[in-house]
Structure 1
Amino acid sequence: MIDEGAELVIRTADAGAYVLVQVVGDLDLESAPALTEELRARIGPRPIVLDLAGIEFMDSSGLGVLVGAHKDSTAQGGALLIAAPGPRVHRIFKITKLHKVFALYETVDEAVRSIAGTPVQAVVPGFEAGS
């Protein structure tokens, strides 16, 4: 029997200064379009805090969604903050060196606190606004 993975559940909350997007399930080729659509609808000048605590599996399709959303958000004066990636997901960021691109936080609260501090900027050339 083949395990087809967990369906992706996306919950969004407008928190005023930022938008919280919580995802639960597997972020893969099948579910990536749903997250792409949700993030595109939310991208703007406000930061998006993406809570990945509920993600057990993420493939290159999921990473592609996050890279695209990061680039689009930065271009519009916003930011994409990654919160609470589990050990497996965090390892994917490290292996792909994307931990140097994204603002990664241990918890959602940590990401939210960072919004009140200094602005989040793209770290890697090529991901700045307008590129």
Structure 2
Amino acid sequence: MTFDDDDLTIRTTAADDHLLVSVIGDLDLESAPAMTAALKQVLGDRPVVVDLSGVEFMDSSGLGVLVGAHKDATALLLAEPGPRLQKIFKITKLHKVFALYPTVDEAIASLRAPATETEAPVESVVPGFEELSP
């Protein structure tokens, strides 16, 4: 499957045990509906690796798409976020929620490796909004 317009290109490639979604362009308010539609079409029983190497900019709408997909996916792995995206994930503390990998190959290899306990814990409460004691 391929989605292609002037501002965003999304290519999906199926493998035996996962799907690879390659994104080129900005993930922002304008492109969020197309990214949402593309991810909804591929989410299912197989893990999804999202290649972010072609994404230079992402706003809160793009983050929202990824968070929504993360909730619905069997496994959603994000690969090759550039320095700007890495900063966004750290500022928002989403680096503790998503499985982030420096390369697509490492993300795919992690699917085949047994899970380790050294992975970052998944945050269930948004930092700063912990439940208050009565």
Distance in 1, matches of 2:63 and 2:7, equals 17
Q: What's 2:99 paired with?
A: 103
Q: TM-score when scaled to structure 1?
A: 0.84
Q: TM-score when scaled to structure 2?
A: 0.83
Shift of 1:119: 4.9
What amino acid sits opposite 2:114 in the alignment?
T
Task: Return 5+ residue gaps in structure 2 as ranges.
Answer: 1-5, 126-134
CA deviations on 1:28-56 (whole Å, 9 max, x unpaired) are 00001101001011111210000000000
What amino acid sits opposite 2:48 in the alignment?
I
Distance in 1, matches of 2:114 and 2:41, equals 25
Q: What's 2:84 paired with?
A: 88
Q: What's 2:122 paired with?
A: 123
Q: What's 2:108 paired with?
A: 112
Q: What's 1:54 paired with?
A: 54
Shift of 1:125: 2.4
What amino acid sits opposite 1:89 in the alignment?
L
CA deviations on 1:44-78 (whole Å, 9 max, x unpaired) are 121000000000000000000000000011xxxx1
Other structure's SS at 1:24 match: strand
Q: What's 1:3 paired with?
A: none
Distance in 1, matches of 2:34 and 2:68, equals 14
Distance in 2, matches of 1:36 and 1:118, equals 30
Q: What's 2:63 paired with?
A: 63
Other structure's SS at 2:30 match: coil
Higher relative contact order (CA 8 A, sep 6+): 1
Shift of 1:124: 2.2
Distance in 2, matches of 1:118 and 1:36, equals 30
Distance in 2, matches of 1:89 and 1:10, equals 18
Q: What's 1:30 paired with?
A: 30
User: What is the identity percentage for the equivalent residue pairs of Structure 1 and Structure 2?
Assistant: 62
Q: What's 1:41 paired with?
A: 41
CA deviations on 1:2-50 (whole Å, 9 max, x unpaired) are xxxx601001100110000000011000001101001011111210000
